[in-house]
Structure 1
Amino acid sequence: MSPIPNGRVIFNEAPVAYPDPRTTLVYDTSETIDLETSPLNGGILVKSLVFSIDPYLRGRLRSPETKSYNEAFALGQPIRNFSVAVVLRSENANVKVGEHVYGHFPLAEYHILKDLTGVRKIENKEGIAWSHYTGIAGMPGKTAYYGWKAYAKAKKGETIFVTTGAGPVGSMVIQLAKLDGLKVIASAGSSEKVQFMKDIGADVAFNYKTESTDEILKKHGPIDIYWDHVGGEVLDLALIHAAKFARFIEVGLITGYNSGGIQPVKNFGNVLSKSLTIQGLYVGNFEEQYGEAFYNDIPGRIARGEIKYLEYVKHGLQSAGQLLVDVLKGDNFGKAVIIVADK
C-alpha cells in the first residue's frame, strides 16, 4: 500500500488571549504513513475515531518557560488529548486488531503507540456511542464522579451550587447531587442551557449573563458545596454565601484562562471565619482508586438513559482550532468532540 496523508493538529503559535482559530492550531497533512508497512517496533497502529476538546487545553498552549501543573505543548508538534481509536495492526500480545483503546493521544488521524502506558481497552458492552467515552464516560465524567466520591461528603438536604452546569462535568455533578438528595443551584450562559439544567434536575437554574448570581445565592443559599469551574467574581460570591463547614471543589478557573491571569480572591477571610474546606481536583489522582467502579457503573447508566448528556459535535480534525475557541467562549452546547472517523 502506498503512503497516505496523515492529518494532524499542530501547535503553531502561543496565543496572548483567546486562541486564533486560524493560526494557534493548524491542520497539517504534510506527514504521510503507510498503514501496512510502517514499523511498529512492538507497538500498535491505531486509527483515531473521536477526540475530546476541553478548556484545560488552553493552559498548555503557552511558552515552555511559563510553568504550570501541565507541561506546555511543543511548538510545531501535534497537541494531545483524550481519544478513542481502533487498532489496525498490533505487535503487542495484549491488544488485538479491531479492539478499541482510550487514552491521551496526539491529534492525528493515525498514530503508533509504543506501549500501553495510560491506555485502556474499551469493550463497550453497552453499545453507547464511542464519543461518549471521551465525555460522560471519559475524562469529564470521571472528573465529576471522582470528585464527588472523594470530596463532596454530601448529605441529603444540603445545597450545592454548580457553575457551568450545562457542561459535561457540571451536568454530571447535577445528576449525582440529585441522586444523593441535594438541592441544586446551577448556572450557565444561555436560556437553552438553563432549560437543560432544569431537565436534568436542577432546582434553581439561571443564566448568569442576565440574572444576578449574588441575588440568586442570597435567595436560595447558603451553599454547603460549591463546584467551581470559573473562579473570579463567582468564587468570591460563593465565599460570601457559603454555609459554615462548606466544601469548595475547584475544578477550573476559566475566567482567567484568556485574560492574562487568575483574578485575586477578595473574600478569602471567609475560609477562616466559616471553617471552609477548599480542595483542588485533578482527575488523574483518583484513577486507580475509582476507575474500575466508574467503568462498571456509568456506561450502563448512560445506556439505560439514567444519565442525560449532550454533545457538540464537529467533524474532521481541521475543526479543532475553532472548536477550542467555542469551548473557551462558552459557545458550545454540550460536550465538544471531533469525529474523525465512524469506524
Structure 2
Amino acid sequence: MRGRMRDPSTSLSAPRDGLKRIQPFSSTGAASYNQAFTLGKPLETLAVGEVIKSEHPDVKVGALYRGRFDFAEYAVVPGETVKQGTVLENKEGLPATNLVGSVGMPGATAWVGLYEIGKIKKGETIFISAASGAVGQIAGQLAKREGLKVIGSAGSDSKVAFLKEIGFDVAFNYKTEDTQAVLEANPFSLYFDNVGGATLDAVLATIQPGGRIIGCGSVSRFIVFMHDLTEFQKVMPGLVKNGEIKIKEHVTKGIDNGEAFLDMLEGRNEGKAVISLE
C-alpha cells in the first residue's frame, strides 16, 4: 500500500489493473486546475482501479472506481476524498481504457464543448484542431452524428488517414499543408480549439462573421463550474459499445514507462495515451 489515510476506517484501494491517464499539464509547474508534481513524492493521476478493500459504505469491494490517486500498482483513497471520484457501473462492459478516455474526461470535454458551449446546429461546418487526439476524435464524430460538416487537422499522415476513416469530411496535416489556405477553401463558422497558437491565428483570419470558438486548449483559464453530465453518461457508453463512435487509444503496459510520457509530449501517440498496469 502507498499513501496515507487520515481516517483509515473510510478508505479504498485500487489494484494494479487500474488504468492511468497521462497528464502533461501536471509536469509544468504552471498555473493549472491540478497541482504540479512534487519531487520525491508519488505522481498523482486520474485512474480507474478495482476496489480490493473498502471500509466506506458507498464503495463496495469489486467495484470499479475512477478518481485521482497515486500512480502506483496499489493506491489508497482517504475516506474524506472518496466522493470526489466516481463508482462506475459500466453496464456496457467497456474496456477500462475507455473509462478514462471516451466515456471519461476526454469524452465529457468533447460533449460539453459541442452541446453546451458550442450549441452546434445541423448544417454548420466545424473545424477541430488536434482532431485525432482523445477529445478531437470524439468531438468530430459527435458533430458528424448531428449533421455538421467536419474539418480536422492533425500532425501526421497516419493521423489524417484515421480522421478520414472515422468520417471527417476534410482532414489535413498541418505540418505539410497551409492551415489558413485549407480553411479559406472550406468556409466554417465554428472552431473547436485544442491547441491555440498559430492555428488559432489562422482561424481568426478565416472564420465566418459571427462564428464561434470553443476554447478547449487553455483549460486552466476557463474552468469555472461543473457541468451536468447526466446525458453524456447516459448516451456515450452505448455509442462506444455499438461502434457508432470509433476510438483509437495508445496503450502502454507497465508502470516503469517514462518513454510513454515523452511520446505523448512529442505527439507520437495516436489517440488517447493510457498506461495499463495489468
Task: Give the TM-score normalised by structure 1.
Answer: 0.75
Distance in 2 (alpha carbons) for counterparts of 1:32 and 1:162: 40
> Does 1:103 find its partner at 2:71?
no
Aligned partner letter, 1:332: N
Question: 1:138-179: CA deviations, max 9, x gaps?
Answer: 111111011112111112221111011111100011011111
- C-alpha change, 1:87 and 1:241, in structure 2 (3 Å) is same
Whether 2:226 is the aligned partner of 1:286: answer: yes
Contact preservation (8 Å) 2:14, 2:74: yes
Aligned sequence identity (%) = 39
Residue in 2 aligned with 1:25? Answer: none
Report SS of the residue matched to 1:126: coil
Q: 1:239 aligns with which of 204, 215, 219?
A: 204
3-state secondary structure, aligned to 2:126: strand
Structure 1 residue 201 displacement after superposition: 1.4
The number of equivalent residue pairs is: 273
- Please name the residue that 1:313 is paired with: 251
Partners of 1:281 and 1:334 in 2: how far apart?
A: 24
Distance in 2 (alpha carbons) for counterparts of 1:69 and 1:104: 13
From 230, 234, 241, the equivalent of 1:296 is 234
Provide the residue aligned with 1:203 in structure 2. Answer: 169
1:339 is displaced (CA, Å) by: 0.8
2:78 corresponds to 1:138: no
Query: Which residue is equivalent to 1:331?
Result: 268
Question: How many Å separate the matches in 1 of 2:178 and 2:31?
Answer: 35
Q: 1:42 to 1:153 in 2, by over 3 A?
A: closer
Query: 1:312 touches 1:332 (CA, 8 Å); kept in 2?
Result: yes
- Within 5 Å, which residues of 2 pair with 1:161-176? 161-176=127-142
Listed one character per residue, the Cα deviations across residues 163-199 of structure 1 (whole Å, up to 9, x for unaligned) are 1111110001101111121111101111111111111
What is the CA-CA distance between 1:134 and the residue it aligns to? 0.5
The one-letter code matched in structure 1 to 2:8 is L
2:44 aligns to what?
Answer: 80
RMSD of Structure 2 on Structure 1 (CA): 2.2
Select which of 202, 223, 229 maps to 2:194. Answer: 229
Counterpart of 1:147, as a letter, is G
Deviation at 1:285, TM superposition (A): 3.1
Structure-1 residue corresponding to 2:11? 43
* 8 A contact 2:19–2:96 mirrored in 1: no
Query: Unpaired segments of 5 or more residues in structure 1?
Result: 1-5, 7-30, 34-38, 255-279
Structure having the larger proportion of residues in strand: 1
Amino acid at match of 2:206: H
Structure 2, unpaired ranges of 5+: none
Match of 2:216 in 1: 251
Q: 1:91 to 1:253 in 2, by over 3 A?
A: closer
1:281 shift after superposition? 5.5
Q: Distance in 1 between matches of 2:233 and 2:108?
A: 9
User: Under a length normalisation based on structure 2, what TM-score does the superposition of the two structures give?
Assistant: 0.91
What's the offset of the Cα at 1:69? 4.3
